[in-house]
Structure 1
Amino acid sequence: MANIKSAIKRVTVNNKKRANNGPQKAEMRSEIRRVESLVEANDVENAKAALQNTVKRIDKAVQKGLVHKNAGDRQKSRLTKKVNSL
């Protein structure tokens, strides 16, 4: 464990941020998997609705710095292509 006061604070702050970021990233990945499963099932209407929620979730993750901007754009692009192919 760190001895310096600022280092101790950094450790606690990093632990709090990690505790908050993990579930948000997991939820984003779950949304992505949900859209992909709907695409495989050829469910057009539900896939489009799920895509909107997923794009919103990805944008929030990018805004908070959980995912790099280009990675978020790439995920959105790939999902949109899959949904539009239906």
Structure 2
Amino acid sequence: MANTKSAKKRVRSDARKRLRNLMVRSRVKTFIRKAEEAIRAGDASAAEAVRLACSELDKAATKGVIHRNNAARRKSRLMAKFNKASAAA
């Protein structure tokens, strides 16, 4: 357990950051899932869903919740799925 005043403060701030990171990661996963479902269903709204998912990934990377390369990789994979589905349609 933390003994010093600064260590106790660090525990509190880490707890706040952890909650924020959980919320952002959850939001990213939700948007990616919605985009992938729209792509699979062949909806006309798939392009908009992909755009929103990419935006959420960029926001998470900007906040430092995920690494920028992680965001870029996920966006690339999502766009590849979208382009493949668009070409098939």
TM range (shorter): over 0.9
Which residue number in structure 1 is paired with residue 28 of structure 2? 28
The amino acid of 1:63's aligned partner reads T
Aligned partner of 1:63 in structure 2 is 62
- Distance in 2 (alpha carbons) for counterparts of 1:15 and 1:70: 25
Give the drift of 1:15: 0.2
**CA shift at 1:6, angstroms?**
0.4
Instruction: For residue 58 of structure 1, report the CA deviation from its aligned partner.
Output: 0.2
Q: Which amino acid aligns with 1:2?
A: A
Question: Could you say what secondary structure the match of 2:42 adopts?
Answer: coil
Percent sequence identity is: 39
- Asked whether 1:54 is paired with 2:53, we answer yes
Question: Which sections of structure 2, spanning at least 5 residues, go unmatched?
Answer: none
**1:37 maps to which residue?**
37
The one-letter code sitting in structure 2 at the alignment partner of 1:74 is R
Runs of 4+ in 1 over 3 A off after TM superposition: none
Structure 1 stretches lacking a partner, 5+ long: none
Secondary structure at 1:66's aligned position in 2?
A: coil
Does 2:7 correspond to 1:7? Answer: yes
